[in-house]
Amino acid sequence: MPNTPELVILLDDDRNHIGTMDKSVVHTDDTPLHLAFSCYITDDHDRVLLTRRALGKRTWPGVWTNSCCGHPAPGEEIADAVRRRAHQELGMTIDAPRVVLPEFRYRARSAEGVVENEVCPVFVAAARTTPDPDPAEVADFAWAPWETLHTLAQDTPWLISPWAAAQIPQLARA
């Protein structure tokens, strides 16, 4: 049985679903607008899980970022996609994700020339298990206080992914 392609949901500028595209070909130098999500996972000490993207990632390899990201499948609730990706990327079970920045959208070009162009609601969730990341997704991880993230995004945003650099200041106000 052949592998089923992972599809992303394409959007128009009004955020209407206008189709799907295979994830393996959607991210180019002219990436169409599509639906994604970001999640920040917290622990019982009010720390946030930061992850360093695997070196084999197509965009922003080796860059520190939020806990996990992904794309909901057609027909999949975004909160379910967040739980799915937390398990796939991090080997973690999380409590019910809660959307905190429902309207977040960004566009960024990586050093490799690949464009991210996403409507990307941002979620926060509590960890129920410890990370056991997939090395193809995550090179390293660390727990950090929210204050450290805010300082990082404010003082040295080039050290983290562009979406995290844009999301963290907004999370401080959410």
Positions marked active-site: 69, 118
Using CA atoms, how far apart are residues 76 and 66, in angstroms rounded to an integer?
22
Structure tokens at 76: 């999949």
Contact assessment for residue 33 and residue 71, using Cβ atoms and an 8 Å cutoff: no
Using CA atoms, how far apart are residues 41 and 22, in angstroms rounded to an integer?
27
Using CA atoms, how far apart are residues 167 and 20, in angstroms rounded to an integer?
26
Contact assessment for residue 18 and residue 12, using Cβ atoms and an 8 Å cutoff: yes
